Amino acid sequence: MVNPILIEVTRGPLVESWHRGAIAVANASGAMALQLGDVVQPIYPRSSIKALQALPLIETGAADHFGFGAQEIALACASHTGTELHTRLVAAMLERIGLNEEALGCGPHMPLGGAAAKALNESHRKPTQLHNNCSGKHAGMLATALYLGEPTAGYWQVDHPVQQRILHVLVEMSGVALGPEVTGFDGCSVPNCTMPLSTLARMFARFATGNGLAPERRIAVERILAACWEHPELIAGKGCTDTIVMRELPGRVFLKTGAEGVYCGAFPELGLGFALKIDDGTKRAAAGATMALVERHYPLGLGLMNRKSTKTWRGIEVGTIRSSAAFEDALAGLKS
Amino acid sequence: MVNPILIEVTRGPLVESWHRGAIAVANASGAMALQLGDVVQPIYPRSSIKALQALPLIETGAADHFGFGAQEIALACASHTGTELHTRLVAAMLERIGLNEEALGCGPHMPLGGAAAKALNESHRKPTQLHNNCSGKHAGMLATALYLGEPTAGYWQVDHPVQQRILHVLVEMSGVALGPEVTGFDGCSVPNCTMPLSTLARMFARFATGNGLAPERRIAVERILAACWEHPELIAGKGCTDTIVMRELPGRVFLKTGAEGVYCGAFPELGLGFALKIDDGTKRAAAGATMALVERHYPLGLGLMNRKSTKTWRGIEVGTIRSSAAFEDALAGLKS
């Protein structure tokens, strides 16, 4: 099956590039409210499931034990831009559990945020593991291991109790079996299991509504959502789609981007969860398709963002990024 | 027509992302030696045709008049990384024609090269138009206008003699009509006309062989090719596919990348020209497909490069970027 074109990039009179992909939107009862493209083929959710990977941090009692509040919980769910704010808070999380940057297993990379990268260069410093966009998630994993008396060494390995606990939560939340045959490794070295988009959409519908969740899990999910809406700047950073949308629509839209063109999210008041993947893995298309879905229900007038590639270096618009007619048709038929 | 998958990106046991596209390889007589996907639909060649856009600089006599040698000619064909070397040489080109950075119309952007961008940040300077990857091309356009007594103001506009002269060369080289209905604008604000990949491949086969070109044009083309092979570091920069391959294979392979997943090139001793476009516009796939073609004839053992997205931040390989079986089959059938 060839996925449909979701996003088109025009220049002058022509469509210059296009992005195929698939999207699933599920409602609280698990039924598909929208499906376009192949929503059955498994994909790696990558960072889009960080909020679910953070559940053990709360459910084990580790977050409360170490006095982690909304900021720390938001950072555990974040793909952050590596600003001074993000790195300082993650360093403080590590200090509170008696560890430091060296305990992290995520590896260093330049801050995702342009301003943060510039500031780091200007100060002639190299990026540390704190700058890794996943450092908050890793600090949360270390906190859980320490609280439960597990070794912190190798906490990122697939057979470590920290990863097995996360795997168990994902199996419960998704209702599908997840074994070694569907396991790859994320850029930050932790395991990432493939799932169909339809499964991911149902998982985020449950996440949005609490439908079918045990009372303790419902409380943990609500705490995670509240933390992300309270601190949207910690989830990603300035100029990022997730931060902008969650700042505009707290309580109404939860969004989380993942690498290779993945996006997942939840619309609590509509009772919907969604998951999409762009075949080619590009961010401009994943964010564009996500914004088209968000604006279908909550017209923010933000457009599809990521417009850099359709402007000249003098700032003149010479093209556009838009939803395809097929995608617009599908969105129009979406029952909210 | 849906283009075939050319490049696959794997992670663990699965193909995570894939890139569709089309490729045309033409021989000296204009026949197609290989075609895969839709090679008839027009595409914007973007920067892949800079070496052809540089022809008037030589053919008018402007390059000789201003004493431009191989370095300046290579820069006129370049998408450079904005290092100190590149910007110093372009500034010298402008000085030699009595102009400065302000005369450029390309607009400023941060250097494409990571090291150059870092150096600029470290010195607390902002990018100028000299750092624009197209600054050498623009300096060449200004030189031609000045030499012929044309106004330099608005040299980047579609109706300026500089752009009309380039359009005329492209019509001659391609053998197709190119009018306003197929004209878009490049990121550096100059016009860019769409052409089918088959036409571009034939154009580069002529470029590689001189077949069917007037003697004066043949000399100009040879001078351009010689300049690029003599100064591959000026054409792009450290770590760039074009620079690496032309340094390894001078006289044998000419390569030029373009934005939105375009690649063109010429193999003089094989009498072949090629053009490819990745549907989704990603560089990793365009460079990967190009390297697969290059290595089919000249096994450099460089692999498909651009491997960053398949490694963890600690440098461990967790996936691969590879040619699809369909693309490999097509390459195997290519007569050299």
Does this complex have an ipTM over 0.85?
Answer: yes
Contact residues on chain A for B318, CB-CB shorter than 8 A: 184-187
Q: Read off the pLDDT of each residue in A59-81 and give the average, rounded to a whole number.
A: 98
Q: What is the pLDDT of residues A122-139, one digit of tens each?
A: 999 999 999 999 999 999
Contact residues on chain B for A309, CB-CB shorter than 8 A: 259-260, 281
Q: Read off the pLDDT of each residue in A210-238 and give the average, rounded to a whole number.
A: 97
Q: Is the pLDDT of residue B306 over 70?
A: no
So what's the pLDDT on residue A230? 98
Residue of chain B whose Cα is closest to the Cα of A281? B17
Q: What is the pLDDT of residues A168-196, one digit of tens each?
A: 999 999 999 998 888 999 999 999 999 99
So what's the pLDDT on residue B301? 81
Using 50, 70 and 90 to split pLDDT, how confident is the model at B336?
low
Using 50, 70 and 90 to split pLDDT, how confident is the model at A301?
confident
CB within 8 Å: B281 and A185? no
- Under 8 Å between Cβ of A7 and A322: yes
Q: Read off the pLDDT of each residue in A93-101 and give the average, rounded to a whole number.
A: 98
Q: Is the pLDDT of residue B314 over 80?
A: yes
The mean pLDDT of chain A is 95
Chain B contact present for A318, CB below 8 A:
yes
CA separation for the pair A210, A220 (Å, rounded): 10
Q: Is the pLDDT of residue A336 over 70?
A: no
Phi, psi (deg, nearest 5) at residue B276: -140, 155
pTM of the model: 0.96
Neighbours of A110 (CB within 10 A): 17
**176-215 in chain A: CB under 8 A from chain B:** 181-189, 192, 194
**3-class DSSP assignment, residue B20:** strand
CB within 8 Å: A313 and B2? no
Residue that is written with structure tokens 């090269």 in the block? B113
Q: Is the pLDDT of residue B303 over 90?
A: no
CB within 8 Å: A187 and B20? no
> For residue B325, what are its two tokens?
């079986």
CA separation for the pair B108, A5 (Å, rounded): 33
CA torsion angle A322 A325 A331 A334 (round to 10): 180
Q: Read off the pLDDT of each residue in B119-147 and give the average, rounded to a whole number.
A: 96
Using 50, 70 and 90 to split pLDDT, how confident is the model at A306?
low
Q: What percent of chain B has pLDDT over 90?
A: 90
CB within 8 Å: A11 and B183? no
Contact residues on chain B for A194, CB-CB shorter than 8 A: 14
**116-135 in chain B: CB under 8 A from chain A:** 117-118, 121-122, 124, 132
